Structure 1
């Protein structure tokens, strides 16, 4: 009995000794270490996607190791072989490794999503609207292969719950120029853009430009690219537009229209310029705004898709049945390929209807011109220099003539007189005067009674209105010379003296000859 007790005692002591020696090493082995999470690059650093995937795999290995240690520690804790402190530490390390793994995974998936602009085509609708069609592609799959990340969901699907690596959602697109949005709608939304998928967005241009900034907002990232718009060659036309489509011009004057030509074709490089429905009395010319050269045709060289020209009209001096003052004239400027221009030349002088103009294959812009008459006035007199005796008045006539092309209204004549002089004008107001008509006006000048001998000047001013606008006039200067009073007695004595002197000389000469 005693031997048996000693044997059990010896076995128990050996077991306790073995546990005492084994537990520290086991604790060190079981206790989880602080996970070494992959380092995330700082701002400005650029990691290749391959290294990010390696960092993700490393985080997965660490997570798996921490999970196993956590499960072993949990089992030992349930058997009361480890303390609660060691168990909670293992649990915390496991959750830390889990978070580090998710962080590395998100760094791979969402660090560099990318949307590519495949096409940006500018085109014109039959109504004349300028539009842009964008084709976008989700190129995020280009930075890593999603198939290589299948291991993300193998071990613990909860880690990637709620994450869809196959698409971008809520992609917002707009077009800008000089910092302002120039597209309608102002911002277009693409709800879902699958990986490697494409989407088309169509905008109306609120401002006609050739360069735009495409602004794309996705995945909390704003991506802006300045691009040159392609022209839709499928329309096979050259368009023509003018911002100054309606103008007024005086007869014998000019009107200039700015023209913008845009090429939407890949065929002919040379195009003819023409004007139709314009009266023959009005001459015109197309001018290159850069070189000031007169043009009858334009050529688009390689890479050139737009040109700026001007159309200048020269109006005749007089109005007629076709050119009526204040009546709108509608005409069309055209840019055509040579074949269409040749067909149109066969109809020279024909007045095209709007329906016929719509059938013309080419760039067409409708323009308007409103002829305006010019108000001109002339004041004429037989002479502007007069002589009067002291105390006498001066009466003269002036002729007021309308030499312009518009009726003159409220013609008023006024005089600017020397001190104490007076005048009378009849009539002093002419209500209206038609072109090429004239009116005689009488003007009387009254000098003061004690006016001195000398020269005096008086200005005749004329004011008139044409089309509610003042007409420029030129003042006339009238010069008056006041003669000195004649001395009759002195003049008589002088004459008698001279006559007597002459008679005396004659008599003396006769007597001298007789001797």
Structure 2
């Protein structure tokens, strides 16, 4: 009689577990999960936890030889499938929330006279900690997916015609970790103040931001350049040199214009470019850190 009860109880457990597996064998899918990824993640997490609990229960029964190997493997496979689905849903949410910002973009002139731009990028993906807290996700599982890392960030500098004007043409950041900005030094092949920063990262996300380059204030000087660095002029004649004045200073914004190392017999003065208004000083503003002027030179007879 006792043996009969044990056998009956075992059969009852086997039937119960088989019925449960049959009812849970298919993961419930809602077509809105692809659109509302966070809700899909919650659904996948619930299915994962249910499959995990059932797998542990089936493992206990299997250890006691109350179910056969096929039933145990069925529960195990369903748990593995639920875990993969959960991780895929979690990755979908994390990729959706990935965000790279331009922290700084500073223009400066190198010692060889070439213009450069230091571009600092930051991973500002929000919500990873909130997702973990909201969904009560296991920390070990959460960390294996590296939610605070954006892989394969490609960066270029473009002009308004979408042509790349940076060297290297395209720079790659293998991993951009939250809280650890990365700075890339580009040589500018075209001297511009307004550029477009193009970025491709993560799961193919693309961003192109039109920005105004900051000037390196630590240089604390005005860089003067002229395309007509050398001219031939007859005695008694005049000529002018077009000048571009670019401010790299954070302390001063007004400067006096002077010419040095010219013989006193040579008349010289600064004027506005394209006009005859004489200039003795130039003032830069926050929105205008590049000025154009001309140096007028007159040789004696």
State the TM-score, normalizing by the size of structure 2: 0.75
What is residue 256 of structure 1 aligned with on the other side?
Answer: 240
- Matched-pair contact (CA < 8 Å) for 2:154–2:200: yes
- Matched-pair contact (CA < 8 Å) for 2:128–2:147: no
> Which structure shows the higher strand fraction?
1
Q: CA deviation at 1:106?
A: 0.7
- Matched-pair contact (CA < 8 Å) for 1:216–1:223: yes
What is the distance in 1 between the residues matched to 2:175 and 2:67?
Answer: 53
Cα distance change of structure 1 residues 259 and 143 upon mapping to structure 2, 3 Å threshold = farther
Q: CA deviation at 1:313?
A: 2.5
What is the distance in 2 between the residues matched to 1:191 and 1:307?
Answer: 39
> Is 2:220 aligned against 1:236?
yes
Q: CA deviation at 1:29?
A: 4.6
The CA deviation string for residues 412-454 of structure 1, in whole angstroms up to 9 with x for no partner, is xxxxxxxxxxxxxxxxxxxxxxxxxxxxxxxxxxxxxxxxxxx
What is the distance in 2 between the residues matched to 1:242 and 1:72?
Answer: 82
- Matched-pair contact (CA < 8 Å) for 2:91–2:145: no
> Is 2:87 aligned against 1:102?
yes
- Matched-pair contact (CA < 8 Å) for 2:156–2:171: yes
- Matched-pair contact (CA < 8 Å) for 1:32–1:69: no
- Matched-pair contact (CA < 8 Å) for 1:32–1:70: no
Identify unmatched segments of 5+ residues in structure 2: none
CA RMSD of aligned residues (A): 3.8
> Is 2:172 aligned against 1:172?
no
> Is 2:105 aligned against 1:120?
yes
Which one of 51, 66, 69 corresponds to residue 66 of structure 1?
Answer: 51
The CA deviation string for residues 224-271 of structure 1, in whole angstroms up to 9 with x for no partner, is 222111112222222211122122334454433221111122334332
Q: CA deviation at 1:305?
A: 0.8
Matched position secondary structure for 2:156:
strand
1:443-482 equivalent positions in 2, closer than 5 A: none
What is the distance in 2 between the residues matched to 1:127 and 1:68?
Answer: 67
Q: CA deviation at 1:69?
A: 4.6
> Which structure shows the higher helix fraction?
2
What is the distance in 2 between the residues matched to 1:286 and 1:121?
Answer: 29
- Matched-pair contact (CA < 8 Å) for 2:14–2:66: no
Matched position secondary structure for 1:56:
helix
Cα distance change of structure 1 residues 145 and 314 upon mapping to structure 2, 3 Å threshold = same
- Matched-pair contact (CA < 8 Å) for 1:133–1:202: yes
> Is 2:23 aligned against 1:32?
yes
Cα distance change of structure 1 residues 123 and 30 upon mapping to structure 2, 3 Å threshold = closer
What is the distance in 2 between the residues matched to 1:196 and 1:113?
Answer: 14
- Matched-pair contact (CA < 8 Å) for 1:287–1:294: yes
What is residue 265 of structure 1 aligned with on the other side?
Answer: 249
* Greater Cα radius of gyration, structure 1 or 2: 1
Q: CA deviation at 1:205?
A: 2.2
1:143-158 equivalent positions in 2, closer than 5 A: 143-145=127-129, 148=133, 151-153=136-138
Q: CA deviation at 1:91?
A: 6.8
State the TM-score, normalizing by the size of structure 1: 0.47
Matched position secondary structure for 2:282:
strand
> Is 2:194 aligned against 1:211?
yes
1:39-438 equivalent positions in 2, closer than 5 A: 39-42=32-35, 52=38, 55-69=40-54, 94=79, 96-140=81-125, 142-145=126-129, 148=133, 151-153=136-138, 163-177=145-159, 178-219=161-202, 220-289=204-273, 292-316=276-300, 318=301
